[in-house]
Amino acid sequence: MALESFAFNVAQKVLEKLASKAYQEISIAWGVQGELKKLEDVLMTVKAVLLDAEEKQVSNNDVRVWLIKLKDVLYDAEDVLDEFECETQRKQSLKLYGSTTKKVGRFFSSSNPLAFSFKMGHKIKQIREQLDEIASHKAKFHLNERDEGRRSMPKERAMTHSFVNVSDIIGRNKDKENIIRLLQKPNDGGKIDVIPIVGIGGLGKTALSKLVYNDERVQNHFQLKMWVCVSEDFDIKNLIEKIIKCATSDGENRSNLEVEQLQKILREKIGDKKYFLILDDVWNEDSMRWDPLQELLFTGANGSKILVTTRSKKVASIMSTISEPYELSGLPHDKCVALFTRCAFKEGEKKHYPNLLTIGDEIVKKCKGVPLAVKTLASLLLTNKEESYWKFIRDSELWKIEQKENDKILPALRLSYEQLPAYLKKCFAYCSFYPKDHEYASLRLIQFWMAHGLLESTNENEDLEDIGLRYFQELGSRSFFQDFEVYDWLIMCKMHDLLHDLALSLTQNEFSTIISTTTHISKSVRHLLFPDFTSLPHGVSTLLQDLEHVRTALFMRTEEISQSALDLCLSRLKYLRMLELSQYKLDVSLERIGSLKHLRLLFLPEIKKVPNSICKLQNLQSLLLATEELPNDIRYLISLRFLSFSTKQKCLAKNGLGCLTSLRLLCISGCENLEYLCEDMQGLKHLRTLTIFRCESLISLPQSMKYLTALETLHIEDCENLKLTMEEGKADHDLARFSLQRLILISSPELVEFPEWLLRGSTNTLQLLKLRWCDNLKELPRCLQNIVSLQKLVIEDCGELSERCERGKGEDWSKIAHIPKIVLDGSEINSTDDSSTSED
């Protein structure tokens, strides 16, 4: 499996920066426009052949090596351009907080502007000369120029057919019966039902469809059966031809007919028949292409069914007419073992290899219920019964195992990857940085992508957080994530191990895990994971010698980290975009951290004192820390978008947090001494989410909170002394200015009367109201009945409040009867009928 070079993406990103107005101004300001123009010219020349090179590197190792070298230089070019951005941010901070102030000037001290200009010009020239040298070799590879609009189509999978040997399919009888029940069930309101089967590649969607298609009950239930393999090319003319061919079986060639003639034939063939059509392997996510075909297919007789197999939940949502698509799960372990032994041993052979059966059981666990993976690995072992080889297969990553040409796991999954738009490919690949079975949190993953510049904005008014959430949801809809847990404003999920292997195969030369036995780290590595800092390899200083361009350092265990080891990392890895230390207490100094000017994301464990030098990180976007006291100059973090902190302070100072005008999410948690928030919160003009957890001493919210005009989510939990009352004048300027979408109040014993000021401006925006363990809350506010946008109300363990909200007879029912979804103490109340269901 060839790695993905991503050289085209990096080249595109560098060129976009060079062409931007900001860099035009920078080049003039620093007198480097000549060198930057030369760099742009050579980049344009190289970029023209990159798409062709990325395809040819699959089968040509020389091209692959050439691309790796090129990508390394392109990353270096990104780093140089980022230095200009850092200097621009530094000057902006000086401008904001007074360049004439000696203290500020010293804090943001920098080199002489002429010296900086000379140094940067020299760096640009070096990179341009390296690119010239690399570009000079492209001719020998006979690369063709191609723009992005002419990317070649992904390699198609083999066309499928309906024949099946039933004995070859193991463990899908229950799924078969479930699908047949859906086929026999009366249609959901319409004349014809479309039933999608969704799952990742290799799970057995096509095999299951074959079982259903060939079942005698299905044969007897429908007058006409048709099987069409759709694959990537969703062309309506071709599909109509295929369907007609299945319906007639006359072998007639109709390719010369127009769509108008074909649609008449199709309607004649299916119009009076109850038919069953399988559309196998559908990739089309454009509803405008499905609608015309659907219109023709829906002319069939009442009771007709269409079964669709797809890897994409988006495809399923477009085509489905039933409430939920059929999501195919992995095979149970015992069924996988049965499939494995059938494929790995000849008849009567397995009884002679009890040890191999034990190893085989462990190999099967690697496959995580995917039949294609089970069969592929078993076929590798069929002709080799050496125990050492079986152990090698057991202990190897799947992407490192050489597989047979026509029977591969990762190429089957790579089809899904190749269908991704360019902006999602690198986001998916970067998920491999976290270990298998990692639980991804949407918020954390979006910050990770943001730190590495993977979020592409085409609309300057769209927040990066919204772009990241869109990317996350799109990867989820295409089955790249699974096991979703949706909380009020956070989504948790996992990635199937085989998809994780695919991601690893794409990024194998960029990511490296450092353990005690590590003896070499490639200069191409940009992301380092330290699972245990207490067991670093000998000579770690030498290992890190040439890795100054590393962008990510994640330390899983740091409770015994030495000052020298940490200083070594902070001094060597000067181009870090992300530094994450684990959740353990840190007893060493972080004074050097102020030199990491490229840093975008910093997650710190519990640390007694945070050095004020952290406030020099003007590019920092995400910061998580637990400390005794916030740094004095935190207002200088002008790019900060996410801040989560715990402190031992009693109150938050003015001219600190309130000056963080870029902040989108603020999480205050575990501040046991905190009584008051800062009084100048009105400065947080872009704050969209505010969460306050476990602040038991907090007494009140500041008046300035009314002016958080962008606030959408307010979540307050375990603040037992917090009074949510707020004095409001009658004048318009005294009213709350925000329009909440989500309000969550949990464990608030001081909440007696509902704070209506929180809802005053949210009549047309509030979608979720959640109240839990608010035992003393007397009643719901009357204004609730005027909030027409409210979609969900949840009340749990709030004393007598649930009784007041009982359907039809509770004293507060009239206030909430218009809300579509109401959950009272775990039971969902339907406001339109007498039914109720339990919600876990």
When pLDDT is averaged across residues 267-286 and rounded to a whole number, the result is 94
Q: Count of CB atoms within 10 A of residue 806's CB?
A: 13
Q: How far is CA 279 from the centre of its chain?
A: 29
Radius of gyration in angstroms for the set of CA atoms belonging to the chain, rounded to a whole number:
31
Cα 549 from Cα 547, distance rounded (Å): 5
**Angle 157-158-159 from CA coordinates, rounded to 5°:** 115
Tokens 């190289």, residue?
46
Residue 3 has pLDDT above 90, yes or no: no
Lowest mean pLDDT across 92-96, 137-141, 266-270, 569-573: 92-96
Percent of the chain, pLDDT > 70? 91
When pLDDT is averaged across residues 282-308 and rounded to a whole number, the result is 94
The kind and range of the H/E element at 822 are strand 821-824
Cα 807 from Cα 767, distance rounded (Å): 20
When pLDDT is averaged across residues 127-140 and rounded to a whole number, the result is 91
Q: Using an 8 Å Cβ cutoff, are 247 and 226 in contact?
A: yes
List Cα–Cα distances, 382 to 346, 377, 379, 590, in angstroms: 7, 9, 5, 56
Residue 404 has pLDDT above 60, yes or no: no
Residue 205 has pLDDT above 50, yes or no: yes
pLDDT attached to residue 97: 66
Sequence-ordered strand ranges (E) for 246-371 = 275-282, 305-310, 326-327
Cα 233 from Cα 284, distance rounded (Å): 8
Positive or negative: CA dihedral 246, 247, 250, 252: negative
Q: Using an 8 Å Cβ cutoff, are 227 and 246 in contact?
A: yes
168 Cβ neighbours under 8 A, 6+ residues apart: none
Residue 436's nearest CA partner among 491, 494, 359 is 494
Cα 194 from Cα 279, distance rounded (Å): 10
| Helices 422-430 & 464-477 angle (0-180, nearest 10) | 80
Q: pLDDT per residue over 353-394, tens digit each?
A: 999 999 999 999 999 999 999 998 998 899 899 999 999 999
When pLDDT is averaged across residues 303-313 and rounded to a whole number, the result is 95
Higher pLDDT, 730 or 750: 750
Residue 86 has pLDDT above 90, yes or no: no
Q: Strands across the sheet with 482-486, in order?
A: 440-441, 491-494, 482-486
Pairing of strands 622-627, 642-646: parallel
When pLDDT is averaged across residues 580-606 and rounded to a whole number, the result is 84
When pLDDT is averaged across residues 19-43 and rounded to a whole number, the result is 87
Query: What is the pTM for the complete model shown?
Result: 0.88
Query: Average pLDDT over the chain, rounded to whole?
Result: 88
Cα 196 from Cα 179, distance rounded (Å): 10
The phi and psi torsions of 660 (rounded to 5 degrees) equal -85, 80
Q: How far is CA 119 from the centre of its chain?
A: 38
Cα 743 from Cα 783, distance rounded (Å): 15
Positive or negative: CA dihedral 395, 398, 399, 403: positive
Would you mind telling me the total number of residues written for the chain in this entry? 840
The kind and range of the H/E element at 211 are helix 205-213
Cα 669 from Cα 346, distance rounded (Å): 61
Buried b (16+ CB within 10 A) or exposed e, 505-540: bbbbbbbbebeeebeebeebbbbbbbeebeebeeeb
Q: pLDDT per residue over 527-573, tens digit each?
A: 998 887 666 777 777 788 788 899 999 887 655 666 777 787 888 88
Residue 441's nearest CA partner among 420, 477, 472 is 472
Residue 727 has pLDDT above 80, yes or no: no
Q: pLDDT per residue over 514-531, tens digit each?
A: 887 888 888 889 999 888
Q: Using an 8 Å Cβ cutoff, are 550 and 577 in contact?
A: no
Residue 4 has pLDDT above 50, yes or no: yes
Q: pLDDT per residue over 213-266, tens digit each?
A: 999 999 999 999 999 999 888 999 999 999 999 999 777 888 899 999 999 999
pLDDT attached to residue 396: 85
Q: Using an 8 Å Cβ cutoff, are 124 and 81 in contact?
A: no
How deeply is 334 buried, as exposed, middle or buried, from its count of CB atoms within 10 A (0-12, 13-18, 19+)?
exposed
pLDDT attached to residue 2: 46
pLDDT attached to residue 156: 53
